[in-house]
Structure 1
Amino acid sequence: MALNRHKVKRFWQNYQDNILLAIALILLTGVVLESRRRGGFEQLELQVYDRMLRQQPELASDDRLVLVEINEEDLRQQERWPFTDEVYAEVLENIQAAEPAVIGLDVYRDFPVEPGYSRLVEQFKKPNLIAIRNLDVLTGTPAPPAVVPEQQGFNDFTLDPDGVLRRALLYATGSDGMTLPSFALSIAMLYLYEAEGISPQASEIDPQYLQLGEATFFPLETDSGGYQTVDARGYQMLFHYRDRSLMLPTITFTDVWLNEFDPQLLKDKIVLIGSTAPSLKDLVISPFSLGSSEGSKMNGVVAHAQVLSYILDTAMGGRSQFRFWQEWQETVWVVVWLTSGAVIGWWLRHPIAIVGGLLFGIVGTGGIGYLFLQNFVWIPVAAPMVSFLVAMGFVIVYQSYQDFRQQKMVMTLLGQNTSPAIADALWEERSELLNSGHLPGRSLTATMLFLDVRGFSTISETMSPPALLDWLNDVLEMVTHEVQSRNGIINKFTGDGIVAIFGVPVPRETPEAIAQDAQACVSAALAIAEKLEPINQTFSEKNLPQVRLRVGIFTGEVVAGSLGGKDRMEYGVIGDSVNTASRLESCAKERQPVDCRILIAEATEQYLDQKFDLEPWGPIPLKGKVEVVQVFRVLTPAEKPVSTTVTTG
């Protein structure tokens, strides 16, 4: 049991950060999906849908439809609104004489406006005329009394929360309990039956669904496409706009009233009569509207024509019905993009690559959504796009934080005592070096340098503490520079000395690399000896004590890693090689022929490739060591070599 707990603890230590990131991404996924379920992305989805719709190619004008418009000039001509029944009767008589297929009157005529009411009633009895009413006849407008229910259609629009017309209500039950079709559907069914012999039927897919010709009209659901909280009561459909303004053949109301038009324009056509006069404010906002100003809105009669044209096209196979993914498919779609964003964010580091990743998410989700929409399939775009960007950004921020934390950890471990080259190499290897908040111990071959000021205790008794500190810092600053400039690490300051290491923390595994470290360490010691002379000269001029240094260098196996806990941690090396270097520095203290004595062992000498002048000191017993160690003194350039050829054995 204890072993299992230990394994779990080690597993947690090794993968803690990744586990926490995975948990955070799972929570992020839950937040995104729940936000989407509650409609958090709905408005953004609708805006993206509108933009994609505006990018699609427009269809040719629908030659089955003709518009008889009531414009501002017509209002001035009649000098009143509403027009009298006699005027409408004359207009309808002139249209009927042209033998249209269907007439759709998008004007309220719920009460007589004399003169001419009886004459207008005769026109309302024509079987090819469809009149409008409101669903709520208690607060709205009922149909003309003379029009039978079969020739009525409600003209109520179903607007989205942002006021845009994207959906069409096909069937609904009015406040009077009557279930009736919309104005556009009534006209379409009458036209299809008279012109094509197509009558409405119950769909074979579901008897509750309406089928007209080749099209089964699937009712819109609350979560269809980009919707999540839409009011889907009644029998609704998402309809496709033919173009921005539906440029229909148009005749003015006055021209028809005066019978100054070509009857052939109306023969066998669907004739819609409605207002385009801005003063009558019969306007709706379409996905093509650039804003909510009246100039960018669509006339109500034109909006009915858009719905009518779409119904006719789908029934006759010209356009497809919108289709939607099931909820689980949309969920998978969002999760796939969220996961993709996290994965891409994990791997990308370079700013240009990050920008490329962001563009991939935006173009990928938007492009795929656009291609689907061209084929009349509306899939979520905003939710996966935002999920991708948020997940990618979250992981990038997380990675940046981890980099900062690891960099701070490295600097905490190594202090400011690392050369830039070593720091860069360590940073490149950080993923292998850093583990659960510490540098795990690893065995490697390194060259250690121990340096100590000879007679420091005696010197400290002759100087004030501030002067002593300045004196010592002048020496240690020079020593630090020489070590770091040769890719060494100042592992610690020992009061009046330092411990430096060459060959850590990134392992040096080949004999050539180990030799480079050993030679760099000896070169640093010689540079220290050379720089010591001018420092002592300056001290002499200031009547300060002279500095004499002892240096011990040893190359061998060590274990390097972080020592301590989370509250106090430092980078350290341990092993017999460390002790040997320390003993070399302090051995034979009475033998110091120069101001900077540099002693090395045979373990280091074998890597020097005879590049340095050495003075053999022979085998010397070191404190704490059972076996004697072959010791050499490294000669400075100013010294005359005792022997330039060294043999060991």
Structure 2
Amino acid sequence: MVFRIPQKVSLALPDLANLRVVGVSTIAVIITLLGVRHLGGLEPLELAAYDQFVRLRPLETEPDPRILVVAITEQDLEIQNRWPISDQVLAQVLRRLQAAEPAVIGLDLYRNLPVEPGHQQLVEQLQQPNLIAIQNIDIRAGTPPPPDVSPERIGFNDIPLDPDDVVRRNLYLAENESGVLFSFSMLLALGYLEPRGIELEASSDNPDIPQLGAAVLSPITEDAGGYQNADVGGFQILLNYRSPDQVARQVSLTDVLAGTVDPSWVEDKIVIIGSTAPSLKDLFTTPFSPALEKNAKIPGVLMQAQMVSQFLDAATGERPLFWFWSEQVEILWIIGWIAIGGILGRVTYHPLALIIGVTGSLGVLSSVCFYLLTQGGWVPFAAPAFGFGLTVAIFVTHRSYEAHQQQRIVMKLLGQNTSPEVAQALWQGRDRLLKSGKLPGIRLTATMFFADIKDFSTISEKMTPEALLEWLNEILGVVTREVLQRQGIVNKFTGDGVMVAFGVPMSRLHRTEVAEDAKAAVDCALAISDRLESMNRDWRRRGLPVIQMRIGIFTGPVVVGSLGGKDRLEYGVIGDSVNIASRLESCEKQRQPTPCRILIGQQTLDQLQGEFEVESWGPLALKGKQQTVNVYRVLARTTVSE
């Protein structure tokens, strides 16, 4: 139906109010998100994103040639038939390895108590200056060091775990009641690097921070990267994994005892002895674990090898350590993405464009974060992504609310600004409308009228949207005027077409009334046909497209009333007669004898009382109809001879 909104009524919120809503919403998102982030609410998401990026980035494909792992496997335990391995066997393994002249040997086995036989033999091997043993940082709750090893050759093998039990950090310096302790992996790296002229020393920029060769071992803070309130006691760095599971060449304990290990694998290398047997449960979860089908967890000895390899590569400049932005820069990074989300949510209206914009923006964000990680930088991803998405959602929701409010205004004005007939119907049913929020359906007989422009899609491709809209409004304006002059009601526009009803909304059941409606509809169609000829001449002169139209008319029973709910109402006309009129307009599209083709059904012809000339097209099968319909083309009004 057609209605106009008075110019005094504004459907848009004032610009100042919009700006206020935008500003308040953005500030609220920033404060809320940064507060949740500060409390650690986003840390699990940040860690999950970090793990995914770590799994996707390029890694070293070859084991570290400077490290050899002597693994105590399940098969070794079966052969030895005991755990712990006896001191005698362990001494024999150390003796064979020392014969090949390794740079340093790390014994990643607790040996604070004798395991006879052969304890004295093991003590002799533990005196070797290139052997590093282990202990726990807290010796009261953990395991103390071997009594026969000097303190400077004892490192702690404690591995820090994140709240989700994943190893992402490398603790290399700690303190207990005995003083400052180096980690097991750091001592092994120093044992290899010091003969090569690389020592642990104070950084030239900050004497409180250690430097190992080319690497300044700046300890991570509790809010570094995606962390918030992380336990960063001692000196820790982010663990830069060499590979998921092939960090170094491995041989078994049995291989060493049998003398089958190539001496070149040991000579001047870092040799780490430890257990890889799953039954001993010395296993750790890593960022790679979710993607590994087998051996998802890494044994502690291989974790130590990862840390040693990191120190070696960092000291020589082969793989730099991770770096982080300051907290201030991270906050600006997050606020920037919140602002981008606000802009996108405010200026993008089409759903497809919004989806593309959101997807593209998140793609850019993830690409930037991933690229920086490949360059050694861990920057927040979850916080800016969440802030971006939340801001977009808020602005889209606010815009939807605005549209809803505008719709409510239009619906309130409907009774004042539609045709007098519809306004009268709404007024007569005002009590029921206010009570139930809708008008009940009324059955009556009406003449339905459908008009459409032929080949509109082809025409529209050749015109700009602005010119097309102006041209189309000119056509529909003429159609609307002809309809309203004959008491018809424009029920809806269908792009290039229009749906009209003659005989609603008032009850039209008397035969005379039904006949008047049918004649008015056909007379309206002929008037439009006449106007179309003059419009085509004018358009041809102005260089605009000339058109042909199709009109379908059918008379029969319909039901009129409100469609929808309290929040969204539409005055609708439904029934089989509506469908037949629509099918008449679209049937036999190839038959267009005149610029404006007018087809009617038998039921309409019966009401015309011979006042119009028609041409029979015979019974036609209309789309969706099982029975044929007698179709006639209207030619003109009947000429009355004097």
Report the residue type matching 2:484 in the other structure. Answer: A
1:334 pairs with 2:324: no
| 1:75 CA drift (Å) | 1.0
Give the whole-Å Cα distance in 2 for the aligned partners of 1:537 and 1:163.
78
| 1:193 CA drift (Å) | 0.2
Whether the 8 Å contact between 1:132 and 1:152 is mirrored in structure 2 is yes
Alignment of 1:14-93 (within 5 A): 14-59=15-60, 60-93=62-95
Whether the 8 Å contact between 1:70 and 1:277 is mirrored in structure 2 is yes
Question: Cα 1:522–1:450, aligned 2, differ >3 Å: closer, same or farther?
Answer: farther
Whether the 8 Å contact between 1:50 and 1:288 is mirrored in structure 2 is yes
Report the residue type matching 1:324 in the other structure. Answer: F
Give the whole-Å Cα distance in 1 for the aligned partners of 2:188 and 2:482.
99
Give the whole-Å Cα distance in 2 for the aligned partners of 1:23 and 1:407.
25
TM-score (norm 1): 0.65
The answer for the alignment partner of 1:152 in structure 2 is 154
The answer for the alignment partner of 1:366 in structure 2 is 366
Give the whole-Å Cα distance in 1 for the aligned partners of 2:164 and 2:46.
12
* TM-superposition CA deviations, 1:525-572 (whole Å, max 9, x none): 24569979xx99965879xxxxxxxxxxxxxxxxxxxxxxxxxxxxxx
Whether the 8 Å contact between 2:247 and 2:306 is mirrored in structure 1 is no
Q: 1:525 aligns with which of 482, 485, 490?
A: 485
Alignment of 1:492-511 (within 5 A): none
Whether the 8 Å contact between 1:338 and 1:384 is mirrored in structure 2 is yes
- SS in structure 2 of the partner of residue 63 of structure 1: strand
1:97 pairs with 2:57: no
Please list every run of 5 or more consecutive structure 2 residues that lacks an aligned counterpart in the other structure. Answer: 1-11, 425-439, 453-469, 490-500, 514-636
* TM-superposition CA deviations, 1:33-79 (whole Å, max 9, x none): 11111111111111111110001122022100011110111111111
Question: Cα 1:452–1:327, aligned 2, differ >3 Å: closer, same or farther?
Answer: closer
- SS in structure 1 of the partner of residue 64 of structure 2: coil
The answer for the alignment partner of 1:352 in structure 2 is 352
The percent of aligned pairs where both chains have the same amino acid is 38
| 1:229 CA drift (Å) | 1.4
Whether the 8 Å contact between 2:248 and 2:305 is mirrored in structure 1 is no
Report the residue type matching 1:240 in the other structure. Answer: N
The answer for the alignment partner of 2:212 in structure 1 is 212
Whether the 8 Å contact between 2:25 and 2:394 is mirrored in structure 1 is no
The answer for the alignment partner of 2:580 in structure 1 is none
Whether the 8 Å contact between 1:105 and 1:130 is mirrored in structure 2 is yes
* TM-superposition CA deviations, 1:466-517 (whole Å, max 9, x none): xxxx9x9989x99xx99x999xxxxxxxxxxxxxxxxxxxxxxx9x989996
Give the whole-Å Cα distance in 1 for the aligned partners of 2:511 and 2:148.
124
Give the whole-Å Cα distance in 2 for the aligned partners of 1:249 and 1:156.
23
Report the residue type matching 1:256 in the other structure. Answer: V
| 1:177 CA drift (Å) | 2.7
The answer for the alignment partner of 2:229 in structure 1 is 229
* TM-superposition CA deviations, 1:145-164 (whole Å, max 9, x none): 11111101000000000000
Whether the 8 Å contact between 1:209 and 1:218 is mirrored in structure 2 is yes
The answer for the alignment partner of 1:492 in structure 2 is none
The answer for the alignment partner of 1:375 in structure 2 is 375
- SS in structure 2 of the partner of residue 273 of structure 1: strand
| 1:264 CA drift (Å) | 2.1
Question: Cα 1:131–1:473, aligned 2, differ >3 Å: closer, same or farther?
Answer: closer
Question: Cα 1:71–1:473, aligned 2, differ >3 Å: closer, same or farther?
Answer: closer
| 1:116 CA drift (Å) | 1.7
Whether the 8 Å contact between 1:224 and 1:324 is mirrored in structure 2 is yes
- SS in structure 2 of the partner of residue 249 of structure 1: strand
The answer for the alignment partner of 1:281 in structure 2 is 281
* Structure with larger Rg: 1
Give the whole-Å Cα distance in 1 for the aligned partners of 2:484 and 2:451.
8
| 1:318 CA drift (Å) | 0.5
- SS in structure 1 of the partner of residue 338 of structure 2: helix
The answer for the alignment partner of 1:168 in structure 2 is 170
Whether the 8 Å contact between 2:59 and 2:243 is mirrored in structure 1 is yes
Give the whole-Å Cα distance in 2 for the aligned partners of 1:232 and 1:240.
17
Report the residue type matching 2:189 in the other structure. Answer: A
Report the residue type matching 2:188 in the other structure. Answer: I
Report the residue type matching 2:55 in the other structure. Answer: R
Alignment of 1:581-620 (within 5 A): none
Larger RCO (CA within 8 A; separation ≥ 6): 2
Report the residue type matching 1:54 in the other structure. Answer: R
The answer for the alignment partner of 1:318 in structure 2 is 318
Give the whole-Å Cα distance in 2 for the aligned partners of 1:124 and 1:75.
22
1:181 pairs with 2:182: yes
Whether the 8 Å contact between 1:246 and 1:306 is mirrored in structure 2 is no
Report the residue type matching 1:51 in the other structure. Answer: Q
Whether the 8 Å contact between 2:71 and 2:251 is mirrored in structure 1 is yes
The answer for the alignment partner of 2:240 in structure 1 is 240
Whether the 8 Å contact between 1:86 and 1:115 is mirrored in structure 2 is yes
| 1:255 CA drift (Å) | 2.1
Give the whole-Å Cα distance in 2 for the aligned partners of 1:538 and 1:155.
96
Give the whole-Å Cα distance in 2 for the aligned partners of 1:310 and 1:409.
67
The answer for the alignment partner of 1:299 in structure 2 is 299
Whether the 8 Å contact between 1:361 and 1:385 is mirrored in structure 2 is no
Question: Cα 1:29–1:485, aligned 2, differ >3 Å: closer, same or farther?
Answer: farther
Whether the 8 Å contact between 1:361 and 1:389 is mirrored in structure 2 is no
| 1:379 CA drift (Å) | 0.3
| 1:323 CA drift (Å) | 0.6
Give the whole-Å Cα distance in 1 for the aligned partners of 2:210 and 2:40.
28
Report the residue type matching 2:277 in the other structure. Answer: A
Give the whole-Å Cα distance in 1 for the aligned partners of 2:111 and 2:394.
60
The answer for the alignment partner of 2:562 in structure 1 is none
User: How many positions carry a matched residue from both structures?
Assistant: 475
Give the whole-Å Cα distance in 2 for the aligned partners of 1:169 and 1:380.
22
Question: Cα 1:536–1:62, aligned 2, differ >3 Å: closer, same or farther?
Answer: closer
| 1:362 CA drift (Å) | 2.2
- SS in structure 2 of the partner of residue 324 of structure 1: coil
| 1:32 CA drift (Å) | 0.6
The answer for the alignment partner of 1:201 in structure 2 is 201
Whether the 8 Å contact between 1:285 and 1:292 is mirrored in structure 2 is no
Give the whole-Å Cα distance in 2 for the aligned partners of 1:119 and 1:537.
115
Give the whole-Å Cα distance in 2 for the aligned partners of 1:317 and 1:417.
78
Whether the 8 Å contact between 1:168 and 1:237 is mirrored in structure 2 is yes
The answer for the alignment partner of 1:567 in structure 2 is none
Question: Cα 1:79–1:416, aligned 2, differ >3 Å: closer, same or farther?
Answer: farther
- SS in structure 2 of the partner of residue 304 of structure 1: helix
Give the whole-Å Cα distance in 2 for the aligned partners of 1:64 and 1:409.
77
Whether the 8 Å contact between 1:275 and 1:282 is mirrored in structure 2 is yes
Give the whole-Å Cα distance in 1 for the aligned partners of 2:211 and 2:416.
79
Whether the 8 Å contact between 2:337 and 2:388 is mirrored in structure 1 is yes
Report the residue type matching 2:68 in the other structure. Answer: V
The answer for the alignment partner of 2:250 in structure 1 is 250
Report the residue type matching 2:57 in the other structure. Answer: Q
The answer for the alignment partner of 1:612 in structure 2 is none
- SS in structure 1 of the partner of residue 109 of structure 2: coil
* TM-superposition CA deviations, 1:96-151 (whole Å, max 9, x none): 00000000100010011122222211111111110010011112111111111110
Give the whole-Å Cα distance in 1 for the aligned partners of 2:265 and 2:511.
116
Give the whole-Å Cα distance in 2 for the aligned partners of 1:366 and 1:105.
42
The answer for the alignment partner of 1:389 in structure 2 is 389
Give the whole-Å Cα distance in 1 for the aligned partners of 2:160 and 2:78.
32
